[in-house]
């Protein structure tokens, strides 16, 4: 019996957690199936029943050796994976466009980071693919590295097909739908983590850790148990169950979804450009050759067409789609873009410099106290906090890095164009926490 069916059949009174007691008078959405690990409902930390069945379904979908549920998002899965392959003060190769959770794990383990940079689109300002040549060279130059971690697909939908002789961790948070229908195949690595809520149907905060190396299963499971809550939400796990069941039984829906996306890309626009990516479910609309910014386009879509985009930057907006998007909604978006395009003027495209990347090995360290430094005076000082664009939480400045003029100019230009730049201290855009002077 599936978890959903068992939850629908609840017929005992809960003299147990949680405290809302499934009482309808409080009007808490989802409380009717929000339980704890009572008899017959399995245990996420030692699954042998209905939860084990969900993980087995995920194993079938992703063709893994073992699939583990995360109700703490992909962030927890990434941390579990890094802890599984690295010991304290080891060396690790990290793609510069990795998520903040990667850097958090590296900080906790005091890892020595060697950066590897993907290619960069200077017209629109985002990272592209990581080359096999760059990966091979970095591994060759760092034979003591214990692992490599990359992002594939990226936030914008670029896929890097990398192989290496050391453990490869892939942050595929935005790739849960890959391998379905006509979409590209699912990423290949030793450990691949995907958010089931980003591009599939599950509720926010749900993810899967797919393990393809037999020898890593127990270590990943150990750290998964350490980092994951001991009170996992049955509301979240139920959504994973429904999501996995849908994926297994509705391949044709993904084919139709893909075809609808192909039609969207035939939009008749002369100034706005729908950019090519490996994953066409990510819709990047470039404003680089027009008289408006990404922020402007997002505002028009929101105010005039009631369309809320995923993110916007200086020269593009990013719209996320999924198999849940009906054909009519995609057609409406296509029409909106065509109408907006008619009123735009073609302008010269200016190149965007990529965020700076340290060329030396480094460790991430945050001191207990730091100096609040005016942003213009921070150049040449050492950062004591993360500064990043949210979404998608990719750091522009990492603690213990020397702050460059390029980084400050990138931040100022982003803020000017309405990009949401945040820092740990919330002092941005006026100040940055720097290390105290000796």
Residues 391 and 427 grouped into a single domain? yes
User: Does residue 330 sit within a domain?
Assistant: yes
Same domain (yes/no): 263, 335: yes
Sorting pLDDT into bands at 50, 70 and 90, what band is 361?
A: confident
What does pLDDT average to over the chain?
96
Q: Which of these three, 199, 218, 249, is where a domain ends? A: 249
- Tell me: do 72 and 32 sit in the same domain: yes
**pLDDT value at residue 319:** 98
Q: Is residue 357 part of a domain?
A: no
Mean pLDDT, residues 164-173 taken together: 97
For residues 187 and 285, membership in a common domain is answered with: no
Residues 154 and 46 in one domain: yes
- Express as a percent the part of the chain with pLDDT over 70: 100
Q: CATH number of the domain at 389, please.
A: 3.90.105.10
Asked if residue 224 belongs to a domain, the reply is yes
146 located within any domain: yes
305 vs 389: which has the higher pLDDT? 305
Parallel/antiparallel/unpaired status of strands 387-389 and 394-397: antiparallel
Per-residue pLDDT tens for 248-268?
A: 999 999 999 999 999 999 999
* Range of the structural domain that residue 381 is part of: 370-435
Give yes or no for residue 352 having a pLDDT over 90. Answer: no
Q: If pLDDT is split at 50, 70 and 90, which confidence band does 356 have? A: confident
Query: Is position 203 within any domain?
Result: yes
User: Could you tell me if 150 and 171 are in contact, meaning their C-beta atoms sit under 8 angstroms apart?
Assistant: yes
Mark which of 226, 249, 272 sits at the end of a domain.
249
Q: What is the pLDDT of residues 264-321, one digit of tens each?
A: 999 999 999 999 999 999 999 999 999 999 999 999 999 999 999 999 999 999 999 9
In a domain, 234, yes or no: yes
What's the Rg (C-alpha) of the chain? 23
- Find the mean pLDDT for residues 388-402: 92
Burial class (CB in 10 A: 0-12, 13-18, 19+), 430: exposed
What does the alpha-carbon distance between residue 290 and residue 309 come to, in Å, rounded to a whole number?
19
Q: Other CB atoms closer than 10 Å to residue 84's CB: what's the count?
A: 24
Q: Are residues 302 and 411 in the same domain?
A: no
Question: Domain check: are 194 and 266 in the same one?
Answer: no
- CA-CA distance, 250 to 181, in Å (whole number)? 9
Taking 90 as the threshold, does the pLDDT of residue 218 lie above it? yes
pLDDT score for 373: 96
Residues 160 and 308 in one domain: no
pLDDT tier for residue 350 given thresholds of 50, 70 and 90: confident
| 81 & 194 share domain | yes
What's 95-154 look like in SS3? Answer: ECCCCHHHHHHHHHCCCEEEEECCCEECCCCEECCCCHHHHHHHHHHCCCEEEEEEECCC
pLDDT band at residue 347 using 50, 70 and 90 as cut-offs: confident
Q: Final residue of a domain: which of 249, 277, 298? A: 249
With 0-12 / 13-18 / 19 or more C-beta atoms within 10 angstroms meaning exposed / middle / buried, residue 301 is buried
How many domains does one find in the chain? 3
> Do 257 and 241 fall within a single domain?
no
Q: How many CA atoms lie within 13 A of 149 on its CB side?
A: 33
Residue 422 has pLDDT above 90, yes or no: yes
Average pLDDT, integer, range 135-140: 98
Taking 80 as the threshold, does the pLDDT of residue 438 lie above it? Answer: no
Please, are residues 62 and 75 in contact by the beta-carbon 8 Å criterion?
no
DSSP string of 153-167, one letter each residue: S-TT--------SS-
Q: In this structure, is residue 349 part of a structural domain?
A: no
CATH number at residue 324: 3.90.1150.10
* Domain assignment of residue 389, yes or no: yes
Q: Are residues 241 and 259 in the same domain?
A: no
Residues 136 and 281 in one domain: no
pLDDT at 302 (0 to 100): 98
Helix axis angle for 251-264 and 327-342, nearest 10°, is 10
């Amino acid at each position: 019996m599936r978890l959903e069916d068992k939850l629908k059949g609840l017929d005992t009174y809960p003299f147990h957690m949680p405290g809302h007691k499934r009482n309808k008078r409080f009007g808490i959405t989802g409380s009717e199936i929000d339980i704890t690990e009572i008899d017959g409902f399995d245990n996420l930390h030692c699954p042998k029943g209905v939860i084990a069945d969900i993980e087995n379904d995920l194993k079938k979908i992703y063709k893994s050796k073992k699939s583990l549920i995360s109700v703490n998002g992909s962030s927890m899965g990434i941390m579990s994976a890094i802890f599984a392959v690295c010991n304290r003060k080891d060396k690790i190769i990290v793609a510069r466009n990795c998520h903040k959770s990667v850097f958090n794990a590296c900080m906790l383990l005091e890892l020595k980071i060697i950066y590897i940079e993907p290619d960069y689109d200077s017209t629109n300002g985002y990272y592209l693919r990581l080359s096999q040549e760059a990966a091979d060279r970095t591994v060759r130059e760092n034979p003591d590295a214990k692992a490599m971690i990359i992002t594939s697909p990226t936030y914008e939908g670029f896929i890097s097909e990398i192989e290496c002789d050391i453990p490869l961790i892939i942050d595929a948070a935005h790739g849960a739908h890959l391998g379905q229908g006509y979409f590209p195949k699912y990423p290949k690595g030793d450990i691949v983590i995907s958010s089931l809520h980003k591009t599939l149907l599950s509720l926010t905060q749900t993810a899967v850790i797919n393990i393809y190396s037999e020898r890593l299963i127990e270590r990943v499971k150990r750290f998964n148990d350490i980092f994951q809550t001991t009170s996992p939400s049955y509301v979240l796990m139920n959504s994973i169950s429904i999501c996995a069941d849908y994926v297994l039984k509705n391949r044709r829906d993904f084919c139709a979804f893909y075809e609808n996306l192909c039609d969207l890309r035939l939009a008749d626009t002369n100034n706005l450009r729908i950019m090519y990516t490996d994953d066409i479910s990510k819709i990047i609309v470039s404003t680089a050759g027009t008289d408006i910014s990404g922020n402007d386009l997002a505002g028009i879509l929101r105010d005039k067409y009631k369309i809320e985009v995923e993110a916007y930057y200086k020269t593009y907006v990013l719209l996320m789609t999924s198999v849940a998007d009906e054909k009519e909604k995609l057609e409406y978006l296509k029409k909106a873009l065509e109408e907006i395009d008619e009123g735009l003027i073609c302008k010269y495209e200016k190149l965007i410099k990529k965020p700076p990347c340290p060329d030396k090995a480094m460790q991430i360290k945050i001191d207990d106290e730091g100096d609040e430094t005016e942003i213009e005076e921070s150049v040449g000082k050492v950062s004591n906090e993360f500064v990043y664009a949210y979404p998608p939480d990719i750091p522009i400045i990492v603690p213990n890095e020397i702050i460059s003029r390029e980084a400050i100019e990138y931040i100022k230009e982003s803020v000017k164009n309405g990009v949401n730049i945040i820092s740990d201290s919330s002092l941005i855009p006026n100040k940055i926490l720097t290390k105290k002077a000796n």
